[in-house]
Structure formats: structure tokens, C-alpha cells
């Protein structure tokens, strides 16, 4: 079946409001070439190259052996909800209760569910740019309007409260913050985060904090805005175990929010996925409350790679790269090749990097900026060395 096939009856209008995830598209293009025997260096996937730690896998095996293989409550097991609340208290000093928690099928699922549960057609959602691709599509899907707030590349894409304030008005329903950021690795300073919280809470605007990369910080301590007094009224935490514990395939995320919002999301979830996989929930409880050494080991390795990638990118003539302070992405500026040899956009740049240099990267346009590409350094040093050499040669040949 091809995309051009004429249907007897059209696809619903709401599907035209969203586009295919560009990160997944690049990964699929790279996979297609790889299956044809082409030697591709893949920097596109936002996926740890580490195995899921053994204690977590053992918990899943035990769950299977004990036949923990049936439906659970739609919003997740009480055991896992308690584990999430305890983890959040231990790490950030919050005091969520299980009725303020929902377990979802990955972090993406809580972002989707909460936007569908809260955003009405015409509501505005403020999103700092560059942004993770999914925010835009899920807000559009709900009929909301995305309002993008620029950040300052010269200051490492950092965000300040004064960059958000001009966009807040009576139509603003929520602000979505992702710190550390995918794609830039920027980390929001605590005092600026608190100022943004003050701006949103006094106006009754929801502040969504996507804590997907919260444990991967290179020069600051893990922090949650949900620890602020009275944050529980307007802050919504979107969490994921995917990156922290190298569990992307297990599909476990969570939300922490006022109980009525959890109730609305549970209603929605009860008619779509129902509960996340029972076995994965057992493994997730072990991940959150078991030994945390593996997280430190991964962070140390990501730091080593971050240092290498940034230094290597900065060696390429004309390439600028802000230093990522968290997560595992670099977001270099490749303006130097734009307008040269038929490369006008970063989408074309990513296509040419794939076809000519055999390196898969994600174009910055997917994240709301026009001169960048995103490189994930969640891959081996050997691949980083090979891929950066290829990018260097490509840029020199095309600038």
C-alpha cells in the first residue's frame, strides 16, 4: 500500500494536524540503508547504548515466573505508584501520594495524555525552542496553539523567565519545560525555573516539567520544580524510565499531578492502552528503588563522550557548538554549509549527510531551529570518532 492510494473515505482531519516523528523517520531511513549493506554511522537515535541493568531484568523474570501477567489497574499498580512517589521524594523532596500518580506506556504517553486531557481548541501552550518534536504535534492534535519562545544560542540555549513572560496571556493553558533539553542539552538554572513557576502559578497556568533526562546532568544536581511550596497545584511532572535506566523498550513513564488531572488521564488511558505491561511495571519498581550505581556509570560515560564530541565539532572549520550541560545530545550550528552545493535547509543537510557521508543525524527544523543538526552521543566512542571524521570531511568539502 502506498501513500498515494485513493481511499473510499478520507482519513480523519485531526491526523493532518500531526506529522511523522522526524527522529523516527531518520532512524528508519538509516535502517533501510544499513539493510542494503551500507556502512552507516547512526547519531539519530535518542536511545542509550547500554543494556538494561541486571537487577531490573531479574525483577521482570521473577514477575514472569510468578505469573504476574494479567491486567493491572489502568493507572498502574499501587506498588509502582508508591515506588514513583518514594523515588521522587528521595531525589527531589516532593510529597506526592499514589492518587496523584499515573503509570503510562513510556514518557511520550504521559505527554500525549496530559495534553489531550487539558488543552482545549484555541488554548495556547508556550514551548521554548529548540524543543522536543512531540510537544508540537500533541498540542496541535488537541487543537491547541503552540507559541514558541526563543532561547539564546550564544548562552548555550539557556532559557530565562523573561523569555517566557511576554507570551503569557489569558489564553495560555500551559508552559512545557524540558530540562535538560532534548535537543540542546541546555539546563534551566534553578532560580530561573523558580521565576517561571512564579509567573505561571500566579496566573493559574500549568507548568509541565518533562524530567526525562533529569539524572543526566554534568555540572549541577538533579532538581525538580515540583519541590517548590504549593507546586502541586499547577506543576505537572512528566517522567520516564527509558533513558535513566536504559529501558526504552520496556515502555514505562509516569505523571505526577493534581488528583483530578490524574483522574481525567486515567479515563482517557482506560479507553486506549489500559495498563502498561504488568511485567515492565515490576521491573520499573526495581529500577526506581533498587541500586542506582548503573545511572552514575552511564552518566560518567556520557560526560566523557560529551567532552569528546564538543571538542571534535569545534575543530571543524565554521562549526559552532554550545556545550550541553545535560542529556546526551549535541546541537551544533552548521550554518557554514547552508546555501552551498544545493543544501538550503537542515532537512536537505541531513539527507546529504546520510547519502554522501553515511552519517544519520536529525535536522534542526524538527526541533524548531534552522541552522542546526542533532547528534545523539548515546553511542560508542568508536562510532563517535568515525562519524565525526565523516562530518568533518563533509563540511570541509561543502563550505
Residues that bind ligand PLP (CB under 6 A): 46, 106-108, 132, 178, 182, 210, 212, 240, 242, 248, 253
Give the whole-angstrom CA distance, residue 114 versus residue 276: 16
> Cβ 226 to ligand PLP, closest distance in Å?
16
Which residue lies nearer to ligand PLP by CB, 193 or 394? 193
- Residues with Cβ < 8 Å from 113, sequence gap 6 or more? 102, 104, 255, 265, 268, 269
Q: Phi and psi of 285, rounded to 5°?
A: -65, -40
CB 175 within 8 A of CB 206: yes
Which residue lies nearer to ligand PLP by CB, 248 or 277? 248
> Cβ 115 to ligand PLP, closest distance in Å?
12
Decide: helix, strand or coil at residue 207.
strand
Which residue lies nearer to ligand PLP by CB, 98 or 107? 107
Which residue lies nearer to ligand PLP by CB, 77 or 248? 248
Which residue lies nearer to ligand PLP by CB, 132 or 302? 132
Give the whole-angstrom CA distance, residue 265 versus residue 14: 20
> Cβ 239 to ligand PLP, closest distance in Å?
9
> Cβ 327 to ligand PLP, closest distance in Å?
8
Which residue lies nearer to ligand PLP by CB, 182 or 333? 182
DSSP 89-143: HHHH-----GGGEEEESSHHHHHHHHHHHHPPTT-EEEEEES--HHHHHHHHHTT
CB 159 within 8 A of CB 186: yes
C-alpha cell at 46: 535518542
Which residue lies nearer to ligand PLP by CB, 236 or 319? 236
> Cβ 318 to ligand PLP, closest distance in Å?
28
> Cβ 363 to ligand PLP, closest distance in Å?
16
Give the whole-angstrom CA distance, residue 88 versus residue 85: 5
CB 51 within 8 A of CB 246: yes
Give the whole-angstrom CA distance, residue 189 versus residue 353: 34
Nearest alpha carbon to residue 330 among 354, 356, 303, 357: 303
> Cβ 153 to ligand PLP, closest distance in Å?
19
Which residue lies nearer to ligand PLP by CB, 75 or 319? 75
> Cβ 252 to ligand PLP, closest distance in Å?
7
Which residue lies nearer to ligand PLP by CB, 103 or 384? 103
DSSP-assigned letter for residue 152 = B
Q: Any alpha helices (H) in the chain, and if so which ranges?
A: 22-35, 54-65, 78-92, 107-118, 133-141, 161-164, 190-203, 259-270, 278-289, 293-314, 346-352, 381-397
> Cβ 224 to ligand PLP, closest distance in Å?
15
Amino acid at each position: 500500500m502506498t501513500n498515494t492510494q485513493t481511499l473510499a473515505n478520507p482519513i480523519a482531519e485531526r491526523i493532518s494536524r500531526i506529522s511523522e516523528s522526524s527522529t523516527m523517520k531518520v532512524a528508519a531511513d538509516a535502517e533501510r540503508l544499513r539493510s542494503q549493506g551500507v556502512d552507516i554511522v547512526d547519531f539519530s537515535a535518542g536511545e542509550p547504548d547500554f543494556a538494561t541493568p541486571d537487577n531490573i531484568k531479574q525483577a521482570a523474570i521473577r514477575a514472569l515466573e510468578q505469573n504476574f501477567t494479567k491486567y493491572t489497574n489502568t493507572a498502574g499498580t499501587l506498588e509502582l505508584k508508591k515506588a514513583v512517589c518514594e523515588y521522587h521524594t528521595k531525589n527531589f523532596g516532593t510529597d506526592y501520594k499514589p492518587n496523584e500518580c499515573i503509570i503510562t506506556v513510556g514518557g511520550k504517553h504521559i505527554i500525549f495524555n496530559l495534553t489531550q486531557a487539558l488543552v482545549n481548541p484555541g488554548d495556547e501552550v508556550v514551548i521554548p525552542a529548540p524543543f522536543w518534536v512531540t510537544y508540537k504535534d500533541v498540542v496541535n492534535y488537541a487543537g491547541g496553539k503552540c507559541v514558541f519562545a526563543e532561547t539564546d544560542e550564544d548562552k548555550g540555549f539557556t532559557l530565562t523567565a523573561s523569555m517566557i513572560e511576554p507570551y503569557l496571556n489569558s489564553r495560555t493553558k500551559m508552559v512545557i519545560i524540558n530540562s535538560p533539553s532534548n535537543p540542546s542539552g541546555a539546563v534551566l538554572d534553578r532560580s530561573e525555573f523558580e521565576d517561571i513557576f512564579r509567573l505561571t502559578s500566579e496566573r493559574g497556568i500549568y507548568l509541565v516539567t518533562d524530567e526525562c533526562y533529569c539524572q543526566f546532568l554534568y555540572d549541577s544536581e538533579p532538581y525538580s520544580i515540583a519541590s517548590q511550596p504549593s507546586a502541586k497545584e499547577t506543576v505537572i511532572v512528566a517522567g520516564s524510565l527509558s533513558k535513566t535506566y536504559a529501558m526504552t523498550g520496556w515502555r514505562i513513564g509516569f505523571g505526577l499531578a493534581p488528583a483530578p488531572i490524574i483522574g481525567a488521564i486515567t479515563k482517557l488511558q482506560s479507553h486506549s492502552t489500559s495498563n502498561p505491561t504488568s511485567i515492565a511495571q515490576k521491573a520499573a519498581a526495581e529500577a526506581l528503588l533498587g541500586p542506582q550505581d548503573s545511572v552514575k556509570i552511564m552518566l560518567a560515560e556520557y560526560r566523557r563522550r560529551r567532552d569528546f564530541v564538543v571538542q571534535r565539532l569545534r575543530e571543524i572549520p565554521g562549526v559552532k557548538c554550545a556545550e550541553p550541560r545535560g542529556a546526551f545530545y549535541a546541537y551544533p550550528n552548521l550554518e557554514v554549509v547552508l546555501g552551498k552545493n544545493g543544501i538550503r535547509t537542515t532537512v536537505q543537510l541531513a539527507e546529504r549527510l546520510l547519502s554522501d557521508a553515511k552519517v544519520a543525524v536529525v535536522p534542526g527544523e524538527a526541533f524548531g531551529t534552522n541552522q542546526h543538526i542533532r547528534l545523539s552521543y548515546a553511542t560508542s566512542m568508536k562510532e563517535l570518532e568515525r562519524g565525526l571524521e565523516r562530518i568533518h570531511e563533509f563540511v570541509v568539502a561543502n563550505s
